[in-house]
Copies of this chain bind each other. A is one copy, B any other.
Amino acid sequence: VNGAAAIAGSLRAHGVGLCFANPGTSELHLVEAFESTPGLRSVLCLFEGVATGAAGGFGRMGGVPAATLLHQGAGLANGMANLHNAGRAASPVVTVVGDGATSHAGLGAPLESDVAALAAPMSRWVRTAGSAATAGSDTAAAVSAARRAPGPVTLVVPADVAWSEGGVVCPPGSAPDVAASVPAGRVEAIARSLRERPGAALLVGGGALRGPGLAAAARLARVAGLTVLAEAFPARLEQGAGVPAVERLSGDPGRARGRLTGIDRLILAGARAPVAAFAQPGTPGALTAPGCVIEALAAPGEDATAALQGLAELLAPGVRARPANPVATTAWAPGSALDAATAVQVVAAALPEGAILVDESNSSGAALPAATAAAAPHDLLAVCGFAIGEGLPLSIGAALASPGRPIVCLESDGSAMYTLSALWTQAREGLDITTVVLDNGGYSILRRESRRTLGAGTPTAGSPLFDLGGPRLDFAALGAGLGVPSARAATAAELDLQLKRALAEPGPHLVVVSLPSL
């Protein structure tokens, strides 16, 4: 057993069955080992950001991490934006990076770089496998760290560690790592203080945005004097008809700030304190009201669901959640013009039960929260880390983690161009992913933000740097070139028809919606 086989075997032994790979010459022994380890399947991606984004999607939906296999420092760098996103989504990802042989280090080979230093800013845990003998236990430690964080971890594997004999597969550990329990005393103290001093808000996020956590949150929403909100950009939010409804904080910083006005105490349950994604002159970064006291019922990595259930037992014993969202309704009129709001309404109405909706609609998605709240029950995956180019790969991982569940991806024109080759992997794997490209011919979010930040009349809002119109990207041609059947929709009824066709046929599809510029 060489080091590579010890790594592959240890991944498998610790629950990792899938690898998104974009290997190079330093990884040949790893490729050999990954391909010959039963139960470990590798999926080829044509760009590292596709591999890491797909692994992020798998981690969100699969509960166990996927691996990625990347090539030296430059390959890792290409994958780091979506590792950043995985970190913000608390999605476990085990990245294995092949490096030059230790005997080669310092010779100045063309790809030589400090891989561990590169990995550090976007990894929760980094280790370089020092020998074939420890490669298996290093791998087990990596999987454990990814699950415990949870988030992306990086194991650097020098080529000679991979090819040397003396590897040992690390046997499976005892129980898988789970979120840490919140001490009962903390839950009781918060319950007591909320009884004594109402007027607080509870912000729910992370793993608490699924059925059990939402049910507890919806019960707490009936407690007088307690406002219950869900975080704006969830890693995985169950919603739709029949799912307990919790008001979602707006992703628009102005609206979120308005909603949080007058709240002088915010209790976090698996969520982060809400801040504006981008600073503006003269505007504070925090979205909470000045002086608002922020405390944690459950910090990220702690079991927010159990904590919410405990809090609900203390504050709302016997109370039942408000009726869940009503049955799904179709919210668009057949004669509607196809603007962004209508497009997302058509998509929401067409969502099959059990769908996974990947949302990278950005500036086109303002109507999405309202449109999907009463859609058929589904999971919503947002871009938690704001590094664009996550949606198409995220869909791959979500699909592979959730066989039988249809994936619908709302993608923006600008964002689609960072990891477009994800469509090829979707085609290669025959994944049931329907991508709707909302093409408004520009970086509309930059146009909008420049008006906000620089003033309504700023010439910068019309900057050619925000214009994707010359030449206009032809996403239907691009999709077809990558092997995905692609169509255009010019009206709401056409979009509805194309979506239904796409959802009825196996394999990936792309539907392009041309929207007016913002």
Chain A: residues with CB nearer than 8 A to chain B? 21, 23-26, 28-29, 31-32, 35-36, 42, 44, 46-47, 49, 73-75, 77-78, 80-81, 84-85, 88, 100-101, 103-104, 107-111, 113-114, 117-118, 120-122, 159-160, 163, 233, 272-273, 275-279, 281, 284-286, 384-387, 389, 414, 417-418, 420-421, 424, 427-428, 445-446, 449-450, 453-454, 458-460, 463-465, 467-468, 470-478, 480-483
Contacts and interface: CB of A to CB of B under 8 A. Distances in A.
Nearest to A472: B483
8 contacts: A35-B459, A35-B460, A73-B121, A100-B279, A114-B121, A117-B121, A160-B279, A478-B482
A47 B120 CA distance: 23
A75 B84 contact: no
Contacts of A78: 49, 77-78, 80-81, 389, 418
Contacts of A273: 107-108
A113 to B, nearest CB: 6
Nearest to A82: B74
A205 to B, nearest CB: 12
Contacts of A389: 47, 78
Contacts of A159: 278-279
A504 to B, nearest CB: 21
Nearest to A483: B471
A236 to B, nearest CB: 16
Nearest to A467: B44
Given A35-B465, A47-B418, A481-B481, A77 B110 contact: no
A273 to B, nearest CB: 7
A387 to B, nearest CB: 3
Contacts of A88: 110
Contacts of A385: 74, 110-111
B121 A28 contact: no
Contacts of A445: 25
A104 B282 CA distance: 12
Nearest to A101: B279
Contacts of A77: 77-78, 80-81, 84, 122
Contact of A111 (B108, B121, B284, B387): B387
Contact of A384 (B110, B278, B281): B110
Contacts of A477: 477-478, 480-481
Contacts of A32: 450, 454, 458, 460
A138 to B, nearest CB: 20
Among A77, A103, A160, A470: residue with most chain B CB under 10 A? A77
Nearest to A19: B465
Nearest to A2: B281
A114 B113 CA distance: 19
A482 B28 CA distance: 34
Given A28-B460, A78-B49, A385-B74, A101 B285 contact: yes
A121 B405 CA distance: 41
Given A113-B121, A481-B475, A25 B104 contact: no
A84 B74 contact: yes
B480 A474 contact: yes
A463 to B, nearest CB: 6
A281 B73 contact: no
Given A26-B278, A281-B160, A414 B107 contact: no
Contacts of A459: 35-36
A23 B446 contact: yes
B417 A278 contact: no
A231 to B, nearest CB: 11
Contacts of A460: 28, 31-32, 35
A473 B465 contact: no
Contacts of A122: 73, 77, 113, 118
Contacts of A24: 446
A272 B31 CA distance: 31
Contacts of A272: 108
Contacts of A275: 104, 107-109
A303 B32 CA distance: 45
B418 A420 contact: no
A25 B281 contact: no
Contacts of A427: 471
Given A103-B284, A104-B279, 17 more contacts: A21-B465, A31-B463, A32-B460, A46-B414, A46-B468, A47-B389, A77-B78, A77-B81, A78-B389, A108-B275, A109-B276, A110-B386, A111-B385, A111-B387, A417-B421, A427-B471, A477-B478
A118 B120 CA distance: 8
A414 to B, nearest CB: 7
B28 A446 contact: yes
Given A31-B463, A279-B160, A480-B474, A286 B107 contact: yes
A78 to B, nearest CB: 5
